[in-house]
Amino acid sequence: MSQIGMALYVGLALHLIFATTLHQGAADVLSTPVPSPPTTTPAHKGPGIPAQGHYSVKNDSGTICLKANMALQINISFHSASLNKIVQKVVNLNPNETTTSGSCDKESATLILNAGQKTELSFKFTLNTTSNKYYLNGVSILAIWSDMTDQFSDHNDSLDYLRGSLGFSYMCRSEQTLVVSQNSSLNTFLLHVQPFGLSGDTLDLHWNACWMKMTW
């Protein structure tokens, strides 16, 4: 074979080797699996901010003695029948499905809210007649919700929330959490309440604001 022929042969061989190598490299790149983007679990959505209700209690003479405007959210832990474990559930109180009752005397006022046959909430306010300061000292929660293995009942008569002065209302438009026990709490929104010293059927325009606790 002439030198020219040999050179052509070597050049052709190198070309074939380079083409084969390039093809294999491209095939390796194309065959490499592309990782899928990580999946995220959608965040649990709560029931949202509840609607504000307007509640009042009358004394024996028919005069309004307690008035409360507030949006309420009930947060309780109970044993689930379907899951066979303790679960936590948050439910909004629907004012349109809620009836009001209660009682008042000189030193105490009680507001009871009933939502059908499923939920009952009770709020007890106490007035210190020496200092003329009032506060929420008692909350009771009764619930009969679907998936409960038994009726839920919780209460606490040693609370110290929503302190105010006689003749003044208490207002807190932001969210507050009133802890009843390790198993239950209430979230309040757009709260405006006056359990004593009402003048007519309107809340006093002078108020104590968003003080969960105060010093006597």
Are residues 143 and 116 in contact, defined by beta-carbon separation less than 8 angstroms?
A: no
Across the chain, what does the average pLDDT equal?
A: 81
Position 2 pLDDT exceeds 90: no
* Gap between the Cα atoms of 132 and 109, Å rounded: 14
- Of the chain, the percentage scoring pLDDT greater than 70 comes to 74
Cα-flanking dihedrals φ and ψ of residue 161, to 5°?
Answer: -120, 165
Identify the residue with better confidence: 201 or 39. 201
Assign 202 a pLDDT band (cuts: 50, 70, 90): confident
SS3 43: coil
Q: Is the pTM of this model over 0.85?
A: no
- The span from the first CA to the last CA of the chain, in angstroms, equals 115
> pLDDT (tens digit, 9 = 90+) per residue, 11-68?
434 444 444 444 444 444 444 444 444 333 344 457 899 999 999 999 988 999 999 9
Structure tokens at 127: 């007035």
Distant-in-sequence, close-in-space partners of 82: CB < 8 Å, separation ≥ 6: 147
Alpha helices in the chain (DSSP H): 3-31
